Amino acid sequence: MVATRAAFDHRAVVVAGDRDGLLDGLAAVADGADPPPHVALGAAADERRPVFVFPGQGSQWPEMGRELLETSPAFAARAAECAAALDPLTGWSVLDVLRGVGDPPGPERVDVTQPVLFTMMVALAEVWQSVGVRPAAVVGHSQGEIAAACVAGALSLADAARVVALRSKALLALAGRGEMLSVVEPARRVRERVAPFGDRLAVAAVNGPNAVSVSGDPAALAELGRQLSADGVMRWMVPGVVFPAHAPQVAEIEDELLELLAPIRPRQAEVPIFSTVTGERLDTTAMDAGYWYRNLRQTVLFEDATRSLLAAGHTTFL
């Protein structure tokens, strides 16, 4: 009904346990009488479009998207478009992975997880927009920023597919050399803890006042985990991350990434993008190959980007 009925300024809600109660409430609304206790009247507030938030790796779950492929035409159509752009670059079928059919590579691989997550995010955004929910702005966490750029119009689907497919393939060179740990502690304190480890560990993301991710060498992360445990600090491993994202080791694939992504042509977005690379609203023509390297190498400034969104007047996040 929300997608097909006209939306007017005045609203009424009737709460009842049976048919007679519903009819009495509707009659009171129609008569313009003082509403009984089970009827609420009100006027619609100004439309506030939400900020679309696109997550990074670790947000995946088994069988994600499978039901939507069967039940949502909007999701299925957009997922098929993503697959058409991705499959020639990956060499396997995105839709087969989502459906769990055929003999696709395992979803635990970074070069599988990231293209499939990209497809999920772009197709889910299409579902929301198909029922009239359109973004006032977008923000993406780490690899989620690729999908955000695509939905906002800063990257064509072909260019976004190139970034996510080829960048995740390049990450295979770092597979098995890193993990990620989420820590419930202020960023300043986490940086103090990480400093003695040198290049073995890095603050990968600052997600909130007491929400920080640390990335790097598995043995060093294990030692940090023991220190945190001794101090009674909550922490947990981020699932599915088996490479040192947002850590110094990423520099090993910088030249390769700059060459692979050189053909992309970023453009001015139709929807504002708040960058987790800069923490601010971004001129999206800057989302070139170098930008997507920094998106992988630098600390994810999700808290800063969120504060910038709030300062710009955005209060609803999806």
- Domains of the chain with CATH codes: 10-43 (no CATH), 51-174+248-311 (3.40.366.10), 179-237 (3.30.70.250)
Residue-level pLDDT at 102: 77
pLDDT at 3: 54
Residue-level pLDDT at 37: 83
Q: What is the pTM of this model?
A: 0.86
Provide the percentage of residues in the chain whose pLDDT is more than 90.
75
Distances in Å between the alpha carbon of 253 and those of 60, 164, 218, 240, 311? Answer: 25, 15, 19, 20, 36
What is the Cα–Cα distance from 253 to 297, expressed in whole angstroms?
10
pLDDT block averages, 10 residues each, the chain of length 318? 62 85 82 80 74 86 82 96 98 91 78 94 97 97 97 98 98 93 97 97 97 96 97 92 92 98 97 98 98 98 98 96
Tens digit of pLDDT for each residue in 87-117? Answer: 999 999 999 999 888 777 777 788 999 999 9
